[in-house]
Amino acid sequence: MSDTDNSRRIFLALAAAAPAALALSGTASAQTSAANPGTVPGAGRAALVTGSSRGIGAATARLLAHVGYAVTVNYLTNRGLADQVVADIKAAGGRAMARQADVADPAAVKALFDAHDEAYGGVDVVVNNAGIMNVGPFAQMTDDAFNRMIATNMTGSFNVLREAARRTRDGGRIVSLSSSIILQKPAYTGAYAATKAAQEIYSSVLAKELAGRNISVNAVSPGAVDTQLLRQHGEEALRGIPEATPLQRLGQPQDIANVIALLCSHDGAWINGQNIFANGGLG
Ligand SMILES: NC(=O)c1ccc[n+]([C@@H]2O[C@H](COP(=O)([O-])OP(=O)(O)OC[C@H]3O[C@@H](n4cnc5c(N)ncnc54)[C@H](OP(=O)(O)O)[C@@H]3O)[C@@H](O)[C@H]2O)c1
């Protein structure tokens, strides 16, 4: 059984095991699920995942599609990878489409949400995942490396969250990717860590602004996860991490997708305005 199959099995078992709690929560979607405990959590709903051509975003798009969401797979340049994620989702019986958009461009983000809404009739889950990591000592960080990271991680996240605030349907979920690096604060990561700390602030403030609409807004803070974001910095970036981690391995994209999916599930409904650290204990 694949990781995704396994996650779906756990997800459905949790949903089916908690009908009484769901009925007490009083929301229309929760009541529907309580009446039909076998209902797939994302059935009839749609999710938009930025930066989902690879890494954590791709694992999240696949998992949300697997539990029933129609998914928009956003990418910046890697159209082939995004198309592959969509093809895999469709081959497994899900619904998905790929859309290019640079999150740093507000007009492109608006067009991305427009395309999603046109295809699926609205958005229930927004995963604000697209991000880049440029590292180096303060003394040597170039303007270009700094400004590109601010444009993608800070401005880009703001652009995505602004559209999410305007468009997410009542009962929806918004999740942003922060990082456990904001706890560890290692040398050479100052600018990157600052952009990731912003995700925690964005999320807790937006959670308050959306009060009364039954929309949860959270951040997830992975530790080191085995993706291109880290591997682009060479094996050095990964050295010693499994040994230093209490769970004794490197994080995988599926580990983080599972946490995001939990926040999007009925079981995650009471978690709001939080930053969930998912790092195998390497805090
Ligand atoms: N990996 C880790 O250890 C780790 C730890 C903590 C937090 N995070 C956070 O988790 C998120 C995902 O990281 P990852 O490791 O999965 O990264 P990744 O493998 O490098 O993937 C990054 C994704 O973001 C997309 N992207 C980059 N710039 C974009 C832009 N301007 N507009 C739209 N899409 C853009 C890329 O699209 P293309 O493929 O088209 O370039 C790709 O789909 C990031 O926010 C990162 O900061 C990662």
CATH classification at residue 82: 3.40.50.720
Residue with tokens 């991490």: 241
| pLDDT tens digit sequence for 124-170 | 999 999 999 999 999 999 999 999 999 999 999 999 999 999 999 99
pLDDT confidence bin for 256, thresholds 50/70/90: very high
> Residue 258: helix, strand or coil by DSSP?
helix
- Residue 96 falls inside a structural domain: yes
Q: How far apart are CA 6 and CA 8, in angstroms?
A: 5
- Annotated active-site residue 192? The verdict is yes
- Residue 24 falls inside a structural domain: no
Nearest CA to ligand 1 atom 39: 78
pLDDT confidence bin for 237, thresholds 50/70/90: confident
- Residue 68 falls inside a structural domain: yes
Within 6 Å (CB) of ligand 1, which residues are found? 50-57, 74-78, 81, 102-104, 129-133, 152, 156, 177, 179, 222, 224-225, 227-230
Higher pLDDT, 35 or 53: 53
pLDDT confidence bin for 251, thresholds 50/70/90: very high
pLDDT confidence bin for 182, thresholds 50/70/90: very high
pLDDT exceeds cutoff 80 at 216: yes
- Residue 1 falls inside a structural domain: no
Cα–Cα–Cα angle for 39, 43, 48, nearest 5°?
Answer: 145
Query: Do residues 60 and 127 touch, judged by C-beta distance below 8 A?
Result: yes
Q: Quickly list DSSP for 172-216.
A: EEEEEE--THHHH--TT-HHHHHHHHHHHHHHHHHHHHTTTTT-E
The number of folded domains in the chain is: 1
pLDDT confidence bin for 54, thresholds 50/70/90: very high
- Residue 239 falls inside a structural domain: yes
- Residue 237 falls inside a structural domain: yes
Burial class of residue 280 (count of CB atoms within 10 Å of its CB; 0-12, 13-18, 19+):
buried
Higher pLDDT, 31 or 143: 143
| pTM score, whole prediction | 0.89
Spatial CA neighbour of 173 closest among 255, 108, 266: 266
pLDDT exceeds cutoff 50 at 271: yes
Distance between Cα 13 and ligand 1 center (Å): 31
Pocket test for ligand 1, best of 132, 195, 252 (most atoms within 8 A of CB): 132
Residue 181: its pLDDT value, please? 97
**253 CA: nearest ligand 1 atom:** 16
Residue 62 structural domain: 42-278
- Residue 28 falls inside a structural domain: no
Element (H, E) at 46: strand 46-49
- Residue 7 falls inside a structural domain: no
Among 15-19, 111-115, 145-149, 159-163, whose mean pLDDT is lowest? 15-19
Higher pLDDT, 30 or 82: 82
| pLDDT tens digit sequence for 65-99 | 999 999 999 999 999 999 999 999 999 999 999 99
Enter the DSSP assignment of 253.
H
